[in-house]
Amino acid sequence: MLNISENKLPQTEELEQLGSLQKLALPKWHLSFKKLLLIALALFIFFMLLPWTQNVRADGKVTTLRPEQRPQTIHATIAGRIEHWYVTEGESVKKGDTIVYLSEVKTEYMDPALVERMGNQLKAKENAISAYQGKAGALDEQIMAMQRELDSKTRQIRSKIEQARLKIESDSLKTIQANIDVQVAERQYNGTNALYQKGLKSLTDLEEKRLKRQEVQTKLVAADNQLASSRNDLAIYENELRLVANETSNKIAKARSDRFSTLSEQYDASATASKLSIERENYARRQTFYYITAPQDGYIVRAIKPGIGEIIKEGDPIVSIQPADYQLAVEMYVKPLDLSLLQVGQKVRFIFDGWPAFFFSGWPGASLGTFGGKIVAMDRNISANGKFRILVAPDEAEQAWPVALQPGGGAKGIALLNDVPVWYELWRVMNGFPPDLYQSIDASYGNDKQPAKK
């Protein structure tokens, strides 16, 4: 100190007794608060840097993996009246067990011997078909016989025609010879007549030559007549050949027409027999529809048409059944905005109704009571509720789903996406950005360094 003033500063103990200084003094816990703030800031920064698993949430319900394993409604194949119930609601049934018996209500099917009568009609029609076949065979034999007869008559007439032609040739030669004889007799007569005029021949010789000429002319006329008769016989035989051919051809054509008519009737009978056979089988099959049986093993859920004597129509639902053997799955509906973030094989966590669970949205590994699954199918068309349907099956690599889980129960699905820091997730939510989805691009390039088409 310079000791310029003679006034001395009060001692520390005296200063502490001053009220103003006591009011301005910092509390003792100030240092502890500063440390607490620093610790909180460090914890906040640490929390912001922690990894956060992005996810897409969607509500769904428990169903089955395969369509035939889902609850189904059994419909009546035919119209009828309920006569007897063989099961009760909640009862287990085996495949083929009778559920309900129906009686007939349509008048055209009420005959108890309808199938037998249709069988008798079918048998009668089959006998008619056999008769038509026999008639067609007889007509075939008749046609063959007429053809053989035509061939035989044709050969006979052709033989006669050949004989007539030979006879015509013979008669032609006779006519030629008669003409020559006439010419010779004419010359002899003329010569004798000239000599008679000169007195060198007697009248007797002239008369002989005249008689000879007349005889030869008579033979010529006879020869011409015989030739004409032979030619007429030839024309008769040729006409007879045509008549026989035409007559027999007409008979054969008529027989063939009868045969075709018989075959047509046979085909009509065959068509009628086929129709009767179909009707008989339909009637027989219809009688089996009186008993409605279980299509597979399962449990009777609810009788839709209860009571006795109730009339049902074709296609009316009668009873609903739950299959006994099924593989559980969950169908959930996601928004179109989130559909592009999901793909087949992606993991999903579920919280089932009735099973206690504690789920951390960003840390699924620390969650309790959730069950894992994998996406197996995604609809290509949007549903009526404006969302897309996703089918998720159990993940075999994780804990099995509860045994008591039944189709129809509620489920909340959480599809796990990319891991990001907490600060990034807060920034994304505050700005309304969609979640991120990163995929490995190593497999999307081939040897030529070109992106592989998906």
Same domain, 308 and 262: no
d(CA 156, CA 250): 20
The answer to whether 16 and 22 have CB atoms below 8 angstroms apart is yes
Instruction: Among 4-8, 37-41, 206-210, name the one with the lowest average pLDDT.
Output: 4-8
Asked whether the predicted pLDDT for residue 89 surpasses 80, the reply is yes
Alpha-carbon torsion angle 218, 221, 227, 228, nearest 10? -140
- Residues of the chain above pLDDT 90, percent: 19
Taking the C-alpha atoms of residue 351 and residue 413, their distance in angstroms, rounded to an integer, is: 7
Which helix (DSSP H) or strand (DSSP E) does residue 299 occupy?
strand 298-303
Regarding whether 394 and 432 lie in a shared domain, the answer is yes
Pairwise CA distance, residues 428 & 294, whole Å: 55
Q: What is the CATH number of the domain that holds 412?
A: 2.40.30.170
Distance, CA of 202 to CA of 324 (rounded, Å): 147
Same domain, 424 and 379: yes
For residues 336 and 237, state if they share a domain: no
- Reduced to 3 states (helix: H, G, I; strand: E, B; else coil), residue 26 is coil
| Res. 308: pLDDT tops 60 | yes
Is residue 2 domain-resident?
A: no
Query: What distance in Å separates the CA atoms of residue 68 and residue 249, rounded to the nearest whole number?
Result: 70
Taking the C-alpha atoms of residue 236 and residue 389, their distance in angstroms, rounded to an integer, is: 98
End-to-end CA distance of the chain: 88
Copy the structure tokens of residue 165.
């032609």
Per-residue pLDDT tens over the stretch 168-189: 888 888 888 888 888 888 888 7
CA dihedral 294, 296, 299, 304 (to 10 degrees): -40
- pLDDT of amino acid 271: 92
Could you give the C-alpha distances from 424 to 47, 145, 338, in angstroms and in order?
A: 12, 107, 19
Q: Are residues 340 and 394 in the same domain?
A: yes
More confident: 417 or 145: 145
What is the predicted pLDDT for the residue at 81?
92
Average pLDDT over residues 224-236: 87
Starting at the edge strand found earlier in the chain, the sheet holding 72-75 runs 72-75, 317-323, 298-303, 92-93
Number of domains into which the chain is organized:
3
Return all residues near 13 (Cβ < 8 A) that are at least 6 apart: none
What's the pLDDT score for residue 292?
Answer: 92
For residue 92, what are the β-bridge partners?
299
- Can you tell me which residue has the tokens 């083929």? 96
What pLDDT digit, counting tens, does each position of 23-44 carry? 555 555 555 767 777 888 888 7
Residues of the chain with pLDDT > 70, as a percent, come to 80
Average pLDDT score over residue span 143-157: 89
What is the domain extent for residue 146?
114-284
CB count within 10 Å of CB 190 equals 12
Please give the pLDDT value at position 5: 55
Residues 127 and 273 in one domain: yes
The pLDDT of 361-380, averaged and rounded, is 75
Cα–Cα distance between 232 and 371 in angstroms, integer?
118
pLDDT-based confidence at 50, cuts 50/70/90?
Answer: low
The answer to whether residues 223 and 350 belong to one domain is no
Residue 447 within any structural domain of the chain:
no
The reply to whether 273 falls in a domain is: yes
Residue 32 lies in a domain: no
**pLDDT value at residue 451:** 41
**Residue 30 lies inside a defined structural domain of this protein:** no
Same domain, 242 and 388: no
Among 220-229, 349-358, 398-407, the minimum mean pLDDT is found in 349-358
Mean pLDDT score across all residues of the chain: 81
- Predicted pLDDT of residue 99: 92
Overall average pLDDT of the 200-217 stretch: 81
Task: Please tell me the predicted confidence (pLDDT) of residue 1.
Answer: 47
279 and 415 together in one domain: no
202 and 153 in a common domain: yes
For residue 42, is it within any domain? Answer: no
Question: Of 116, 88, 81, 74, which is closest to residue 102 (Cα–Cα)?
Answer: 81
Sorted by sequence, the CB contacts under 8 Å of residue 218 that are 6+ apart come out as: none
Whether the per-residue pLDDT at 425 is higher than 60: the answer is yes
Q: How much is the pLDDT for 444?
A: 38
Q: What is the mean pLDDT of residues 111-118?
A: 87
Contacts 24+ apart (CB under 8 A), 365-368: none
Q: Of 232, 265, 284, at which residue does a domain stop?
A: 284
Calpha distance 349→373 (Å, rounded): 6
pLDDT level of residue 365 (50, 70, 90 thresholds): low
pLDDT at 453: 40
- Other beta carbons within 10 angstroms of residue 133's beta carbon come to 14
**Residue 314 pLDDT exceeds 60:** yes
Among the candidates 269, 298, 322, a domain finishes at 322
Asked whether residue 184 is assigned to any structural domain, the reply reads yes
Residue type, 379: D
Would you state the pLDDT for residue 420?
A: 64
Q: What is the CATH number of the domain that holds 127?
A: 1.10.287.2610
Whole-angstrom distance, CA of residue 337 vs CA of residue 345: 19
Q: Residue 100 sits in a domain of what CATH number? A: 2.40.50.100
- The verdict on residue 368 lying in a domain is yes
Q: Is the pLDDT of residue 317 over 50?
A: yes
**Are 379 and 237 members of one domain?**
no
Same domain, 339 and 399: yes
Give CA separation, 171 vs 84, 160, 162, 165, 167, in Å.
Answer: 106, 16, 14, 10, 6
